[in-house]
Amino acid sequence: MIGLGYVGLPTAALTASAGHTVLAYDNDAALRESLRAERATGSETDVAELLASALRDERFFVCDRVQPADAYIVCVPPPTAGGRPDMRHVEAALADVAAVVSSGELIVLESTVPPGTTERVVRQALRGAGKSFLNVHISHAPERILPGDVVRELRENDRIVGGRTREDAEKTRDLYASFVSGEIHLTDLRTAEFVKVIENTYRDVNIAFANELALFCEEIDVDVWQAIALANNHPRVNILEPGPGVGGHCIPVDPLFLADQNPFATELIQASRRINERMPNLIVRRVVGLVGEGDGKRKVAILGASYKANVGDVRESPARRIRDLLDERGFRTAVYDPLARLPEAARSVEEAAENSDAILLAVDHDAFRDIDPVALAPIVRSRVLIDCHNFFSEQTWSACGFRVYGLGRGSHFTFPQALSRQQSTTA
Ligand SMILES: NC(=O)c1ccc[n+]([C@@H]2O[C@H](COP(=O)([O-])OP(=O)(O)OC[C@H]3O[C@@H](n4cnc5c(N)ncnc54)[C@H](O)[C@@H]3O)[C@@H](O)[C@H]2O)c1
């Protein structure tokens, strides 16, 4: 196993629990040391348990370099830099594999990559090591887990396996079938790469559609949440929810692989990206519309820092972008997130909300359900709630004197008198 991060470590631990001997390598020496000490910091609990038992049973060995094996699974970071595919991690990992791989062994690339990449980079790596492409089995087995329940997802999700040949795909299926109970669908390399990328692109486009509807609804006094719920009663309609943007290191990134590969054939994909990218700016404009410009004194309490509900991962988080934009516009900000580990964050909702001019719900963590506006009303400076997820009861917060802006909630949102209708449409 090469790459022991969020996906690689649980995959390696599961492979060991299925009875294989796993020789695990990550180029982060500090990570290797903590894994040897059974410290899977930041991992979900069941991953840490699986790792501890595999280490104790001597089925899992943390190695200081890539070791010869029957199969090599490469799971290194998503290849992007500044919005463009960047194959450096994948190439470096495959060069290490190429140095030790022998005829008849299997190389599986799990990292999400643009269509056509696996064959090209493996061929390049093997050529660099003076080895023949034809003697090695090659496949792409993209990962489709949803963070938060990674072990169950790894076990139970269906998988797509693309092989350079049918035999390569079948060899990979046999390996994964030892710990995957979901169905394993076989195809060719390029199709497997494409399928993984379009799954995330589909979600990005669908969310952009929901965001466009949200902004439209604000103009025509319709509640988008109700409208989408009603539309989704239709058996062939499934619109996702609007929100303050799209985060994580998959959904906002994978569409760029296609856009980069063919800018002229991806107009919808690129427009969707732009819509979702703009959402944090829009939310910040709503803040300004409600409480005035940042003047160095006005404070916004941001609830949530992670990129989505009930996880602590802050990568590409819209909440983070909102905070940066507010800081740039001269607001003081305080963030509270019970799941994300941020040294600078407030330790409680109350600490974040104290003397604030607006409370902004950026992430719909279940843990925020208990927030009581009765307790917050006396400690804030002005009672304004900005709810990006239709999460809180407007009635309850209004009853405590809060002005509530809910994204996409039509007439529920009223700009201050000073701001004309025309200004609001340009916001
Ligand atoms: N995280 C997710 O939810 C998710 C879901 C589906 C697919 N994926 C895909 O899985 C892949 C891995 O993602 P992740 O979330 O596990 O990333 P990660 O950043 O958590 O982990 C990657 C690990 O690879 C290591 N690494 C980097 N270069 C290396 C090299 N040359 N040799 C050895 N180790 C190296 C890093 O030190 C790191 O520990 C990505 O391509 C991603 O797109 C991730």
Q: Model confidence over 203-261: pLDDT tens digits?
A: 999 999 999 999 999 999 899 999 999 999 999 999 999 999 999 888 999 999 999 99
**Per-residue model confidence as pLDDT tens digits over 94-114:** 999 999 999 999 999 999 999
Question: Which of 31-45, 327-341, 361-375, 388-402 has the least mean pLDDT?
Answer: 31-45
42-57 mean pLDDT: 85
398-419 mean pLDDT: 76
Catalytic residue (one of 171, 196, 299, 308): 196
Q: Which of 11, 66, 75, 109 to mutate to test the pocket of ligand 1 (most atoms within 8 A of CB)?
A: 75
Q: How far is the CA of 316 from the centre of ligand 1 (A)?
A: 15
Give the CB-side neighbour count of residue 169, counting CA atoms within 13 A: 18
Residue 196 annotated as catalytic: yes
The answer as to whether 222 is a domain residue is no
> What is the band of 421 on the pLDDT scale with cuts at 50, 70, 90?
very low
Q: How far is the CA of 384 from the centre of ligand 1 (A)?
A: 40
Q: Which of 2, 6, 97, 118 to mutate to test the pocket of ligand 1 (most atoms within 8 A of CB)?
A: 6
The answer as to whether 102 is a domain residue is yes
Query: Final residue of a domain: which of 144, 165, 182?
Result: 182
The answer as to whether 268 is a domain residue is no
The answer as to whether 314 is a domain residue is yes
Q: How far is the CA of 144 from the centre of ligand 1 (A)?
A: 13
Domains identified in the chain, total number: 2
Identify the DSSP state of 242. -
Residues 278, 169, single domain; the answer is no
Q: How far is the CA of 88 from the centre of ligand 1 (A)?
A: 12
CA distance 151 to 38: 17
Residues 177, 57, single domain; the answer is yes
Query: Final residue of a domain: which of 156, 182, 208?
Result: 182
The answer as to whether 260 is a domain residue is no
CB 6 less than 6 A from any atom of ligand 1: yes
Query: Final residue of a domain: which of 131, 155, 182?
Result: 182
**Per-residue model confidence as pLDDT tens digits over 292-319:** 999 999 999 999 999 999 988 898 899 9
Catalytic residue (one of 75, 171, 217, 250): 250
Q: How far is the CA of 134 from the centre of ligand 1 (A)?
A: 27
In 3D space, the residue among 407, 328, 410, 299 whose CA is nearest the CA of residue 362 turns out to be 407
Residue 308 annotated as catalytic: no
The answer as to whether 357 is a domain residue is yes
Question: Which of 32-46, 61-75, 164-178 has the least mean pLDDT?
Answer: 32-46
CA distance 239 to 231: 8
Position 341 scores a pLDDT of 84
CB 160 less than 6 A from any atom of ligand 1: no
In 3D space, the residue among 361, 311, 372 whose CA is nearest the CA of residue 336 turns out to be 361
CB 2 less than 6 A from any atom of ligand 1: yes
Mean pLDDT computed over every residue of the chain = 92
**Per-residue model confidence as pLDDT tens digits over 106-151:** 999 999 999 999 999 999 999 999 998 889 999 999 998 887 788 9
CA distance 332 to 351: 14
- Could you tell me the CATH number of the domain that includes residue 65? 3.40.50.720
User: Domain limits at 41?
Assistant: 8-182
